[in-house]
Structure 1
Amino acid sequence: MAYLYAGLGIAMLTGIMAIFEMATSYVQFQNTWQPASIASSSLYYNGLQLKDQVITQTIAGNPGLDVCNAASADDVKEALDLDKLAYAFSGSVANFASGCSYTSSGHRIIFDSNKGLWSCALPSNHPVNKDSKCDFEV
C-alpha cells in the first residue's frame, strides 16, 4: 500500500510540475512582443520580419510620407509595397492614440508616431475586417 501511495504522489508532483512549466513558457512567449524596430526577427512567422524591415527602411527614407493620412492610403500602400486590394486601412486604433493600421488576412501593421511600428501575424483563416487585432491589443 505504501508503494501505491508513493507512486501516486510522484505522479501528482510530475503533473503539477508540468502544468507550471507550460504556464511559465506561455507567459514568457506573451512578454516577447515588442515594436518591430527593436524586436528580434525570430519573433515573427512566415517571413513577416523581412516585410517589416523593408517598411521601416522605406519610412525612414521618406520623411514626407504621411502613413496615417486616409486620403493618401493607396499611395502609402504603393510606397510600402503592400497589395492594394489585400490590405485594408483603418484610421483609428485602440491604445494607439495617434496611430493607424493596415490589415490583411494574415498580417497587421500598426503605425504610431509615439510608439513606433508594431506588427503581428494573424491566423491564416482570419477574416479581414476593422476588428482584426493582434494578441498584444487584446
Structure 2
Amino acid sequence: MADIVPPEVRSRMMSGIRGKDTKPEMIVRRGLHAMGFRYRLHDKRLPGKPDLVLPKYRTAIFVHGCFWHGHECHLFKWPKTRPDFWRKKIESNRTRDRSNREKIEKQGWQVIELWECELRVESSKLLDRLTALGEEIKS
C-alpha cells in the first residue's frame, strides 16, 4: 500500500516526533512527583539515558513508545511501506534496549520499562498502575 501523503510531508511529520517530554513520559513524571518521588531526567551517566532516574532507589525508568520499540500490543503495527527499513530500525531499537537494560542492571540498578499502551487507559486504571509503579520502585 502506498503512502497517502507526499514524501516531504511524511518527512516533516516524522521529524516532529519528540524523543523527550512525550505525553506518556509526562504522565509518569507528574504521577511520581505527586507521590513524592524526586528524579533526574535523561541522566547521561547511565547507558541509554533513561527517561527518569531515581538515584535514592537506584532505579532507572524507560518510558517506551509502542511503535518505536516494537511492543506487541494493539498500538503496534508493522508499516506497509518500506518494510525492510522499518524491520531493521525497530529490531535495532529492541536490541539496543536489551543491551542498555543489561548494562544498567550490571551496575546494580533496578530497571523499569513502561509502555505507552499501559498509560493510555482510563484514569482509575492509570492511578492503579502508577501506585503499583511506586511500590515497585520502593521494593
- TM-score in terms of structure 1 length: 0.29
Larger Rg: 1
Which protein is richer in helix relative to its size? Answer: 2
Q: Which has the higher contact order (CA 8 A, sep 6+)?
A: 2
